Chain A
Amino acid sequence: MKTSAPFIPFLLLAVLLFTGCKRTDGIQEYVGPKDTTTPTNFSVQGDSLRPSYSLVNFSVQKQFFIASFSHSVAWKLEIRGKNSGAVRLLSGISQNLDSSNTSFDGKADSLAFFLPTESCTARLKVAGWAKEYTCEFVINQMPSFDAVQIDDFESPNDSTGFCALYKDPTDSLVMFKESESTLFFEGRRAMRMDGYDVNYNYWLSTLSTKNVNLKSILTGKEASSVYLNMFAKGEADGRTALEIQMYEDENSDGVYSSTSDELWTAKTTLTGEWKQVSLHFDDFSKSGTSGNSTLEPEKLLRIALVLVAYPQGGYSSAYVDYASFTFGQPFSQK
């Protein structure tokens, strides 16, 4: 054998190297997910977190937060309303907190709303760093939401929105407060209805809209895109149901008649916790035989909320706040 023989394997090996080897594509800058743990010599400049406004008017301003880190780190900022318990979470990976990454428009991730005149706490947590940084600010005014408001129940004794009440005359202590300030979910007031169903027909009271031009709100809207939204709360033991009625002026004569127009209803049961009620028009069913059996948004005459002592009569109550229409999706603060 010639001594050049050992070079034959090198040739074969070179062929193997250049033809047989490949590496998984994908994350090629580094292996694994981005490491956002905090280095041991991490520090926060000034050892503080600051809000851009100590009193913020969300109708014209956005809040943001200011901090500067020694390293680029993963952080979480939790903004919590002291009274409402509303929460907004912000997070990111950066070396600074500023308007570009901590902009806060007053809208919550939680079901609960931030409240006007509410004091809030912002709490900053850096991944892998034990110390937390906090600051406080006060909300002056809340922002507007992407919804057509029917009634926010903030104005006592006004004559628009849900303000026309019909009581069951044979029931006892049927109460209605259009704008109750002791319990609310959005703003500082909510609507309250309660009473004793003593005749065991379950119906306690009906609250209808008044001076709300539903036609102008809903004309041109597809029925399939319309949602009726509100926030509601009942009794803790579940003795409350809320029936939502929509009266359709089928013959366009400006009044509702059970013989010629349509009544559409949907029902929801309430508990002691606030919940969002968002009803799509498909959720309503027609009551009675008159009409063309088609829910036409532009023909809506009025909407009514019916307090029902469901399912056993007796005392029942309901709080309702921030009723609105949205289009395309249920109400969301953001």
Chain B
Amino acid sequence: MTDTILVGIDGSPDSRRAVEYGITMAKKDKASLVLAFVIEWSEYSFNTPEENEQRHKRREEEIKTVKERVLDPMLESLAPEDIEMKGVVRHGQVAAALIQIAREQDANQIVVGRIGQKTISTVIFGSVVTKLIQLTHIPVTIVP
């Protein structure tokens, strides 16, 4: 069984470096790569009824945007690397969601950048890394 490396991405240069590091490792270990994009979202926020009604539509739009703008171009640009690769988009708290995806994909290792693009929906910054370290069940590599 081959190893699986999970790389958390958010479209920032830092996460690009994390992906490059992930590729180097994957080549060395003959591992497969999972690129995970987490859209920051809380199931405990308070919404107006109208927002609730629109939520399903928004969610699909958010996922589509992430796929079109970040994930698909990245997968495409990495296609020549000859590594087994797939992308996952998920809503949730970044650290918890990454670990959830790691469990589902049976990953042996998580790679993330240190600081990410700081927008409302896509945040992987300091505290996320700290949280990730506290929650993780597998080794985590942080690429500066």
Q: Is the A/B pair a real complex?
A: no
Contacts from A to B (Cβ < 8 Å): none
